[in-house]
Amino acid sequence: MLNKYPIWKNLLILAVVVLAFIYAAPNLYPPDSAIQVTPSRAGAEMSERTLEDVRKALDAADIEYFGEEVTGSTALFRLASTDAQLPAKAAIQRRLGDDYIVALNLAPTTPQWLVDLGAGPMTLGLDLSGGVHFLMEVDMAEYVKGRMTNYREDLRNSLREEDIKYRIIVADDTKLRLSFRKEELRTEARAFVNRSYPGEFLIQEEEVDGNFDLLLSVTEQQVKEFEDYAVKQNLMTLRNRVNELGVAEPLVQRQGRNRIVVELPGVQDTAEAKKILGKAANLEFRLEAESGASRFATEEYTFRSEGGRTARLEKKVITTGDSVTNASSSFDENSFPQVNISLDSKGGAMMTQVTKRAVQRRMAVLFVERKPKTTYEMVDGVEQPKTIQVVEKSIISLATIQSVLGNSFRITGLGAAEAPELALLLRAGALAAPMDFVEERTVGPSLGAENIEKGALSVAAGLLLVLVAMIVFYRVFGVVANIALAINLTLLVALMSLIGATLTLPGIAGIVLTVGMAVDANVLIFSRIREELRNGRSPQQAIHEGYDRAFLTIFDANITTLIVAVILFAVGTGPVKGFAVTLSFGILTSMFTAVMVTRAMTNFIYGGRNVSSLSIGGKV
């Protein structure tokens, strides 16, 4: 029988439409503004005392809050208004100090039954509902200082191998001073430096207190190369860390000489993002100092997990986390957490060289962390916060070397939460140079609300004009097309919500374009039905032929647009990709609703009936 779908096809269409409404529904529940409090150290618990301190800070600042939630080590306080977020953050941070990370957040309000079905709202881009924006600055002075220390160690080893006896090598911020007792030794050393480090140093000769010195100053060109390497390496590391966070459509790019911008649209857990991105965590592998070792060649450190216990280590570093090529967390045979480490060839060679001479000695794994510390100073009679960066080093493992170590080994002595975090940081790559947060900004709803309002207005205006035009020109068939258009938009929103796509302003442009494209397919079908009626076909035959013959034209037009959208996604970045994703899904949902959904509704109205005419407008 003409114009009748089998029951299974009708049920399939109905099921798809119902599921679309379910998975699009979470977007009707906007999130609440909130403040999130997380311990800065992995594995720390959220105590009742800390929660009480947060409440007191909010009450003292006269900030209204509700919906207090504690999940593991994270506490979330929902606020009555978005304007209260910044004052709340300042009040809580001042009371808790640097042991906790206080971040702006958006708390979901999706009903639990939708969450249980796996439904969630679309992630909105930074230009719509906001997200987190970081401006980070590379500490080049500290990086260059570290490179000078490496130069000193390299020269010590190389001069020994060349049998050039030096008296002392001292590293400054950008200079090295090599002292020799004889002028001939200085001449040999100068020739070696020129040969081994061409163009890296400006060399001066001095005589101080009867010693013959070489003063090596790093050239400006070499410093610039250091800076470029550090920023590029940090860019790559931050991108890796963002990938570990699973953020959709992030922005990580260089700004100026030594700054990096990171934008994470739609991020909910901003505290975790800041902790992972900003942590300049690294490792140093050092031997424990032998008894009787000079205090000038050793340093004393505390254990990370045992506050009162200390150990004295050699100042000389075997290798660092920069040499780590892979890291994964697991559990040993006693179910204690561990991190499995793989080193590159240089790091592995150094580890083998040192441990060959140190079997049965103990080797320490030193965790190096650069973190902010807030102090307060009086400015014009008002106490103002000031953030400085401090470097903390603590021992996470001190174990006896049982045999010669190579490229692979494991670190033990970590907590259950510390092991995966350390593995993540090392796997993503150590920062080549330490970085400071110059600016931290969570883009609030003020600008985003304006963008959403304008975007929604453009969609609504376009939709209204299309709805009116379709009813005027195609009457009953126009109503069918309008219902299908509403279903189409619902399907599009549901799909984007399911895959966790980030909606941006260009994405809204894609939705507006989808509205036009969806009815375009129906215009082709309805025009074909009119043509069939003019050619003398019966109403039932005209409907059948109209849908069947228009399909190929619709398919060809949409497939070419889909190819363009795929190319845009492949070669584009950021907003262009967002537009391409929305457009691609819009094409697929438009094909489904314009052909199958409208056909099912038309069959329901006209199918299996003796009709003499169709309410399709125009001259037939």
Share of the chain above pLDDT 70, in %: 86
| Inter-residue contact 120 to 46 (CB < 8 Å) | no
Helix (H, G, I), strand (E, B) or coil at 312: strand
Residue 372 banded pLDDT, cuts 50, 70, 90: low
Other Cβ atoms within 10 Å of 57 Cβ, number: 22
Please tell me the predicted confidence (pLDDT) of residue 569.
83
Q: Which of 309, 307, 301, 305 is nearest to 284 (CA)?
A: 301
Domain regions of the chain by residue span: 7-26+445-606, 32-107, 141-221, 224-443
| Inter-residue contact 94 to 57 (CB < 8 Å) | yes
Mean pLDDT value of segment 444-461 = 69
**E strand or H helix at 446:** helix 445-498
Please tell me the predicted confidence (pLDDT) of residue 271.
64
CATH code for residues 32-107 = 3.30.70.260
| Inter-residue contact 263 to 251 (CB < 8 Å) | yes
pLDDT digits (tens, 9 = 90+) for 203-223: 888 888 888 888 888 888 888
pLDDT digits (tens, 9 = 90+) for 378-437: 777 777 766 676 778 888 778 888 888 888 878 776 677 667 766 766 665 667 777 877
Residue 246 banded pLDDT, cuts 50, 70, 90: very low
| Inter-residue contact 205 to 214 (CB < 8 Å) | yes
Residue 84 has pLDDT above 90, yes or no: no
* Fold adopted by 141-221: Aspartate Aminotransferase, domain 1 (3.90.1150)
Q: Which of 578, 456, 460, 488 is nearest to 20 (CA)?
A: 488
pLDDT digits (tens, 9 = 90+) for 11-28: 999 999 999 999 999 988
224-443: which CATH architecture?
Answer: 2-Layer Sandwich (3.30)
Residue 267 has pLDDT above 80, yes or no: no
Other Cβ atoms within 10 Å of 284 Cβ, number: 17
Residue 333 has pLDDT above 90, yes or no: no
Question: Is the alpha carbon torsion for 133, 137, 138, 139 positive or negative?
Answer: negative
Share of the chain above pLDDT 90, in %: 7
Give dist(CA 495, CA 491) in Å, integer.
6
Residues in the chain: 620
Mean pLDDT value of segment 49-70 = 89
- Comparing 4 with 313, the larger pLDDT belongs to 313
Residue 618 has pLDDT above 80, yes or no: no
C-alpha angle with apex 429: 423 to 433, nearest 5 degrees?
125
Structure tokens at 242: 């963002």
Q: Strand pairing partners for 216?
A: 176, 203
Give dist(CA 571, CA 129) in Å, integer.
26
7-26+445-606: which CATH architecture?
Answer: Up-down Bundle (1.20)
> Which amino acid makes up residue 579?
F
Question: Which backbone phi and psi does 306 adopt, to 5 degrees?
Answer: -130, 95
